[in-house]
Amino acid sequence: MEARRDVFQAISDPTRREIINLVSAKPLNLNSIADNFTISRPAISQHIKILSECGLILVVQKGRERYCEAKLDKLKEVSDWIEKYTVFWNNKLDALGQFLEKKEQ
């Protein structure tokens, strides 16, 4: 059974995060991306496949080259998830601050 791919899985790996960082500046072909890493080209291709399945990278054929373009709108899902916990912890820390202020008085 194949695992379901999502944006959280995509960004869980430091190599994939760096690939996203590289192609967010400008589209790069597969060799240009692989030149930035010490791992094998097939390993880079596997990372790109995962990023593509998660919707974070679009692979476009231009002549004989395949270029990767960043599709960063999918990261909003992560941002929304983080925001939920930011609000939660800000509320908790505000309550703690108020409690400590009352205790000092």
Half-sphere exposure of 21 (CA within 13 A, CB side): 8
What domains, with CATH codes, occur in the chain? Answer: 7-104 (1.10.10.10)
Quick check: 44 and 30 in contact, CB under 8 A?
yes
Q: Are 5 and 20 in contact (CB under 8 A)?
A: no
C-alpha span between 52 and 64 (Å, rounded): 19
pLDDT in tens, 30-85: 999 999 999 999 999 999 999 999 999 999 999 999 999 999 998 998 999 899 89
**Rounded mean pLDDT of 19-27?**
96
- Overall average pLDDT of the 89-97 stretch: 92
